[in-house]
Amino acid sequence: MSFYVVGTPIGNLEDITMRAIAVLSSVDLVLCEDTRVTSRLLERYHIQTPMLSYHTHSGASKVTAILKLLEAGKSVALVSDAGTPGISDPGSVLVAAVREKFPLLPIIAIPGPSAVAAALSISGLPSSDFLFLGFLPHKKGRETLFKEILASKRTTVFYESPHRILKTLEKLNTLLSPKRHVMVARELTKVYESIVAGSAPEVLTHFKEHADQVRGEFVVMVGPD
């Protein structure tokens, strides 16, 4: 029995390690969020390993079924739709369950891309340490996090969806001094990759004037106070 946690591309299917390909090819089962998304990756590398879905709405019975497979000696690789499992996606719940049930089982990381690291790496913002907030909550706790961003002496990074990006940029515009750097990394590694940088009003104006760019996937970064 082996349990691997495998980083996969965040857009460009070429961004995969040789080790990830070897593991995905050799395990008995690939656990993935959406089999349609992961099948594109597996097909690209001619990998025929069977898939089983494991996502946010998978209940306790799915976790139990996966633990049983491990108990039966199966080797399993966990991937997510994009990037590193467990970083703002359901991976960590399963990893915790595996750790609890099989404390001696090595859980092996096969590192790969993550949107947070890719965005920071091209930002030029201070990033020897940073505050990562994942997705901001829609309601409870949202205001508190904005206050945290406002006061932060570190670069703050969070993920945002196309449905909320304008709302979030408007909020940053009302809160932040125009001296603070805001950067939005969009569609990293994909055809329409872009990075928009400036003060909060400048970045907000950019997206208001380019409605075609209010789609896709976003990482938002705010420089330190």
Contacts with ligand SAM by CB under 6 A lie at: 10-11, 80, 82-84, 87-89, 114-116, 159-161, 185-190, 217-219
Q: How far is the CB of 174 from ligand SAM (least distance, A)?
A: 22
Give, as one character, the DSSP assignment of residue 8. B
Q: How far is the CB of 88 from ligand SAM (least distance, A)?
A: 4
Asked if residue 223 lies in contact with residue 177, where contact means CB atoms within 8 angstroms, the answer is no
For β-strands 194-198 and 218-222, DSSP reports them as unpaired
Strands across the sheet with 130-135, in order? 130-135, 155-160, 218-222, 182-186, 194-198
Asked if residue 89 lies in contact with residue 5, where contact means CB atoms within 8 angstroms, the answer is no
The tokens describing 15, both together, are: 């961004």
Q: How far is the CB of 183 from ligand SAM (least distance, A)?
A: 12
Residue sitting closest to ligand SAM (CB)? 83
Question: Is the CB of 11 or the CB of 223 nearer to ligand SAM?
Answer: 11
Structure-token match 């089962």, residue found: 29
Question: Is the CB of 19 or the CB of 74 nearer to ligand SAM?
Answer: 19
Q: How far is the CB of 87 from ligand SAM (least distance, A)?
A: 4
Question: Is the CB of 8 or the CB of 181 nearer to ligand SAM?
Answer: 8
Q: How far is the CB of 164 from ligand SAM (least distance, A)?
A: 10
Give, as one character, the DSSP assignment of residue 85. T
Nearest one of 36, 34, 44 to 14, comparing CA atoms: 44
211 SS3 class: helix
Nearest one of 60, 59, 71, 63 to 31, comparing CA atoms: 63
Q: In whole angstroms, what is the distance from residue 21 CA to residue 144 CA?
A: 42
Q: How far is the CB of 196 from ligand SAM (least distance, A)?
A: 12
Q: How far is the CB of 177 from ligand SAM (least distance, A)?
A: 25
Instruction: List alpha helices for the chain, DSSP H.
Output: 18-26, 35-44, 60-71, 91-101, 115-121, 142-151, 165-175, 200-209
Question: Is the CB of 171 or the CB of 186 nearer to ligand SAM?
Answer: 186
Question: Is the CB of 170 or the CB of 225 nearer to ligand SAM?
Answer: 170
Question: Is the CB of 36 or the CB of 68 nearer to ligand SAM?
Answer: 36
Question: Is the CB of 90 or the CB of 126 nearer to ligand SAM?
Answer: 90
